Amino acid sequence: MKTWRVVQYFARNGLVMWAALATIAAEISVALQRGMQWRGDLVWTVDWVPVAFIIVGPVVAGLAAIDTALTVQGGSHLFKRPVTRTPAFAVTLAYAAVIGTAHLVVVAGVLVVSAPPVGDPGVVLAIMVQLAMLTLFAAIGTTLGRFVGVVMAGALGALSVFALLFFASAPGDGLALLEFGGATLPRIGYAYSPTYLGAQLLLLLITTAALLLPRPVDPMHKPRPSRSEVAVAGAALVAVAAGSVLVPGERLVPVETSPSLCGAVQTVPTCFYPQHERVMTGFQEQFWVLVSVARENGYGDLVPRRLVEASRTELPQEARDGTAAVYVMPEHLQGQEPSLWEIASGIVQPVHCAQVKGDLPPSERYWEDLQALVVTWVSLADPGVVEDVAFEGDILSPEQASVMAQEFAQCTYAHF
């Protein structure tokens, strides 16, 4: 019987369809969490879906192990064939095809919902890495299913992948074999590294091939692999471990990008990233309030020349040309409206200054003055903020506020 027919058999009669249903359910559940905050951000969208692998991985490995172990009971002679014609290989291919298709369907769906306005050519490679991970989960299961009983194989398969995800998905000094992203912050300002992802894909495929190589000498009576196959597989896994340490760089690399969705609030230009278009109006409305009350009450010097969205890789206020930053946080992308306090604080807080980036925290005087400046501005529109934040200082005069805001912007404040 040809391998593809065996694959079809397991796809129809094995547990893979249950694994596919679990995959779709888990990934959709993950996609719907936190208000689908990833919408509009391509890299974040693609990285968000595999958060479900913490559930999908153990399920796939456990069920693949059970399918393989059941085959040993009724077709042990088939494991003496060449590796690519064994039931374990067919089970792995069946799971890779069916689970991979289920994953692609979910990814395609969330990309339609996300509708990202900015592309990244590395996305295709990132999705290929995700598919390779799913194949590896199945291969781990079939490896255990070849040498362990049905119940034990299923349990060990699930536990093994769960542990592997815990230890091999966290980024470190080298390449993390199962790193898939899963960020809780926007990815604007970053792009995929083709070098890192290409190396990760290669190592995943080598690991999968190494796990498929060992076959039981006598599946029914002595379910142990031959020494030669263990030696070859072990050498391949050692090479993978060495490659993981030696591969330099990061999965994501900083890229130059500027907010291109621009408008104006009164006479102040505002620019946001097109990925965050859905929240731009909320920020502009609150900024309008701050601009109006500042100009009406003599605090016009607090109003910046431009308001530009910051990213994790770019702070617009570093230009020190009167440009101020606005910060779109995950909470805003989840549906929370920006507050006057958040916008005013983002405008005046000197996070671009070297004095606040060091190992030592700023002085207590700095925090008191920063709070006084923000309270002064926000209280013009919302007097209740004084009581809300338990402010015990004095409201700054227009002259005091102007001087302090200028010192913060130019990093010349004397009490950092």
Residue 361: per-residue pLDDT: 86
pLDDT of residue 214: 82
Identify which of 173-187, 228-242, 273-287, 391-405 has the greatest average pLDDT: 273-287
- pLDDT for 232: 80
Strands 306-309 and 268-272: parallel
Q: Which of 137, 110, 143 has its CA nearest to residue 44? A: 110
How many helices and strands in the chain, by DSSP H and E?
15, 8
Tens of pLDDT, residues 254-302: 998 889 999 999 999 999 999 999 999 999 999 999 999 999 999 999 9
| Torsion-angle region of 40 (φ positive above 0: left; ψ -120 to 50: alpha; else: beta) | left
Residue 215 pLDDT class (50, 70, 90 cuts): confident
pLDDT of residue 279: 95
Q: Which residue has the tokens 């592309």?
A: 119
Q: Percentage of the chain surpassing pLDDT 90?
A: 64
pLDDT of residue 317: 84
As a whole-number percent, the residues of the chain with pLDDT over 70 amount to 92
What pLDDT sits at residue 220? 55
3-state secondary structure of 381: coil
Q: What kind and span of H or E run contains 9?
A: helix 3-13
State the Cα–Cα distance between residues 373 and 302, nearest whole angstrom. Answer: 9
- Please state, in angstroms and as integers, the Cα–Cα distance from residue 307 to each residue in 146, 206, 266, following that order: 62, 49, 12
Which amino acid makes up residue 186?
P
Distance CA 299, CA 254 (A): 37
pLDDT (tens digit per residue) in 32-88: 999 999 999 999 999 999 999 999 999 999 999 999 888 876 555 555 666 667 888
Q: For the chain, what is the mean pLDDT? A: 89
List the beta bridge partners of residue 324.
307
Contacts of 389 (CB under 8 A, 6+ apart): 341, 371, 375
Report helix, strand and coil shares of the chain as percent, to nearest 5. Answer: 65, 5, 30
Q: Name the residue with higher pLDDT: 22 or 220.
A: 22
The pair of structure tokens assigned to 370 is 């920063």
**pLDDT tens figures, 309-340:** 999 888 888 878 889 999 999 999 999 999 99
Of the candidates 373, 346, 334, 367, the one whose C-alpha atom is nearest the C-alpha of residue 286 is 346
Contact between 289 and 302 under an 8 Å Cβ cutoff? The reply is no
Rounded CA separation 92/258 (Å): 44
pLDDT at 65: 94
Is residue 9's pLDDT more than 90? Answer: no
User: At residue 136, does pLDDT exceed 60?
Assistant: yes
Tokens 């085959």, located at residue: 71
- Residue owning tokens 């925090």: 367
pLDDT of residue 87: 81
Q: Which residues contact 411 (CB under 8 A, 6 or more apart)?
A: 320, 350, 352, 353, 354, 355
Q: Which residues pair with 253 in a beta bridge?
A: 191
**Residue 262: beta bridge partners?**
271
Residue 3 has pLDDT above 60, yes or no: no
Q: What would the pLDDT profile of 333-389 be if each residue is shown by its tens digit?
A: 999 999 999 999 999 999 998 888 878 888 999 999 999 999 999 999 999 888 888
Phi, psi of 342, rounded to the nearest 5 degrees: -60, -45
Give pLDDT, residue 387: 83
Please give the DSSP secondary-structure letter assigned to residue 339: P
What pLDDT is stored for residue 78 in this prediction? 54
pLDDT of residue 331: 94
Confidence band (pLDDT; 50, 70, 90) for 7?
A: low
